[in-house]
Amino acid sequence: MSTIAYLKSLLKDKNVASVTPSSSFTIKKTTRNIDFSKDVTIIEYGPGTGVFAEFLLKHISPGSRLIMIEMNVDFVHQLKHLKDDRVSVHHASAEQVEAIALEHGLQKVDYILSGIPFSFLDEKVKNRILAATVRLLHPEGIFLAYQTSSHLKESLQSHFSHVETCYEIRNIPPMCIYEARM
């Protein structure tokens, strides 16, 4: 179902940037340093059909929150079927993250997770999203991103003090996973 949804969406919208959702291996590796023992606030850019959300909702506490920002309207409709009080879905670009956080009364969040294809973005847009991400994260917060190559490392290093990468080959295509901290 999800692969078909992706292929249909990709034909209409190049920003979908994938033929299939992330694998469970990618999801587990990307989220491995989220502290599920506490109440956490997570913002996700580009949730697609919600494969990360399905995993996160099984692990986050009842007092945690997951705010998703998705640009593709078909995916937004699909995400609206996630019936969970901890979830909010916004049809918007990640560029609007600070305004969306304010709507929720949030000055800072614990984790920002991202699958958006940064290599497709204009340099200015990419830097605006990364700068807003830094402003919104708690000092000990983490930006978790996955991309099909290591192209994002340099940009992340210009916004964050510590950037680590690792790979997950059990994904179509293989993924480079980034962890960036202040």
Compute the distance between CA of residue 79 and CA of residue 50 in angstroms, rounded to an integer: 6
CB of 5 to ligand SAM, least distance (A): 10
User: Which of 71, 130, 145, 156 contacts ligand SAM by CB under 6 A?
Assistant: 71
Compute the distance between CA of residue 174 and CA of residue 26 in angstroms, rounded to an integer: 9
User: Which of 31, 64, 78, 93 contacts ligand SAM by CB under 6 A?
Assistant: 93
User: Which of 34, 40, 43, 51 contacts ligand SAM by CB under 6 A?
Assistant: 51
Task: Decide: is 94 part of the binding site for ligand SAM (CB under 6 A).
Answer: yes
Compute the distance between CA of residue 126 and CA of residue 135 in angstroms, rounded to an integer: 14
Residue number with CB closer to ligand SAM (70 or 168)? 70
Nearest to 143 by CA among 60, 30, 8: 30
Q: Determine the interface stretch with ligand SAM among 41-49, 56-64, 79-87, 159-167 (rule: CB under 6 A).
A: 41-49
Per-residue interface string for the shown chain with ligand SAM, residues 98-137, x marking contact by CB under 6 A: -----------------xxx--------------------
For 132-154, b/e burial (b = at least 16 CB within 10 A) is: bbeebbeeebbbbbbbeeeebee
Residue number with CB closer to ligand SAM (41 or 49)? 49
Asked if residues 156 and 163 have their Cβ atoms less than 8 Å apart, the reply is yes
User: What distances in angstroms separate CA 66 from CA 42, 124, 132, 134, 174, one per listed residue?
Assistant: 5, 27, 18, 18, 26
In the complex, which residues of this chain contact ligand SAM (CB under 6 A)?
15-18, 21-22, 45-48, 51-52, 69-72, 75, 93-94, 115-117
